[in-house]
A and B are shown apart, each in its own frame.
Chain A
Amino acid sequence: MGFDQYHEPPEELPPATRTFARLCASLTEESEALGWYEQRIAVETDPEALAIMRDAQGEEFKHFSMDLEFLMRRTPRWREIAQGVLFQTGDIVEHGEEAEAESADGGGAGAEGGDVDGSLGIGSLRGDAR
């Protein structure tokens, strides 16, 4: 139960991937909670209970956003696509298709490097120290 976030044997996964999987699981839980609060708020009539649930949902917005930011910092291609979609006006699907296409053109391994900025994507190695 406690290790359900792993799809592959955990001992075969590098520390950075295990951290990534944990945060993905956390992101899922936060978005579930957001949906639950939205439904509860929609049917609740007691103003005091409503205020508490709105406050709680605000916490989940924060948690979801922090998880998302962490994951995108560690996943440059995700970040690049998200930058083309998030906080934009206009057609969401169109932005998504464009961002994905631009990322596929410019990102990935090869001449433009394994990371969106062309770097080696090494970053922090805190999890690697033993």
Chain B
Amino acid sequence: MNHLLRSHAPISDSGWELLDSEARGRLTPALASRKLVDFSGPHGWGYSARSLGRTSQLAVAPCEGVSGLQRSVLPVVELRADFELSRSELRDADRGADDADLAALDAAAHQIAVAENVAVFHGWAGAVTGISESSPHEQVSVGADPDAYPQRVASAVERLLCDGITGPYGLALGREQYRAVVETAEHGGFPLLDHLRKILGGPIVWAPGVNGAVLLSLRGGDFVFESGQDLSIGYSSHDDEVVRLYLEESFSFHVATPEAAVAMKP
């Protein structure tokens, strides 16, 4: 048994399979950053930091005649979303009910996916430096008119090319922007989604939590999501009525090439 303490939960093996499957189903569509940036790991719960290969000078040395440097590391952060489920619902699922109420799990899965997206794309104060806050490019507006998206995205792509940032490129779209793109057909009926894909040469990703849009190169080596413990369901406690669980992960995020992305505000 590991730190998740799953064996202590009053949940059957088939119950755990149901919960894991439900969580995967909810998380996978929403984990936008993992569809666009490099992924390293998982390195396990015991993993605490990524080496940055850099040092800082120490102000004082242990004694005269020597100097000291301190290695710089990027510590992992932990994200956790607690939820509780009805034990009665889980017992019904064991009996074969295919409509068990797992709404609390679904909500927690969505929230932790949003949190991961926000941390990677926009940053997490004091913990994670995100893509958009690292980008040296001036933020442009994606605008309210979907018909203008191709011109603005093409302009952002051209800006990356000017910096020698090659494609393919991916586009993370906030909920409103994604909806606008999917429902829009340009003059002549050509889907806007397809037009944008042709400009990008890469995917367009639904990214709940993203404010506006973020365009980034997918050539690799520019953005690294480093997973410690990958997303997992753990056990907290239970009583006669409910079992209290949580979704958790640990990760760090490193921007190696800040100029490889353009943030586009709403």
Whole-angstrom distance between the Cβ of B44 and the nearest chain A Cβ: 6
Partner of B13, one of A109, A124, A126: A109
Among B20-28, B79-87, B92-100, B143-151, the one that faces the other chain is B20-28
* A122, B24: Cβ atoms closer than 8 Å: yes
How would you classify the secondary structure of chain A's contact residues: helix, strand, loop or mixed? loop
- A78 CB to closest chain B CB, in angstroms? 15
Asked if A7 is an interface residue, CB under 8 A from chain B, the answer is: no
Question: Within 8 Å CB of A112, what residues of B?
Answer: 1-2, 6-7
Partner of B28, one of A114, A128, A130: A128
B17 and A109: CB pair below 8 A? Answer: yes
User: If the complex has contacts A111-B9, A113-B6, A130-B203, are A122 and B20 also in contact, measured as CB distance less than 8 A?
Assistant: no
A119 CB → nearest B CB, Å: 4
> Of A109, A119, A124, which one neighbours B34 at CB under 8 angstroms?
A124
Say yes or no: is B231 at the interface (Cβ < 8 Å to chain A).
yes
Interface residues of B (CB under 8 A from A): 1-2, 4, 6-7, 9, 11, 13, 16-17, 20, 23-24, 27-28, 31, 34-36, 39, 41-42, 44-45, 170, 202-205, 227, 229-234, 249
Given A117-B42, A120-B24, 10 new contacts (CB under 8 A): A110-B13, A111-B9, A113-B6, A117-B2, A119-B229, A119-B230, A119-B232, A120-B20, A124-B34, A129-B205
Interface residues of A (CB under 8 A from B): 109-115, 117-126, 128-130
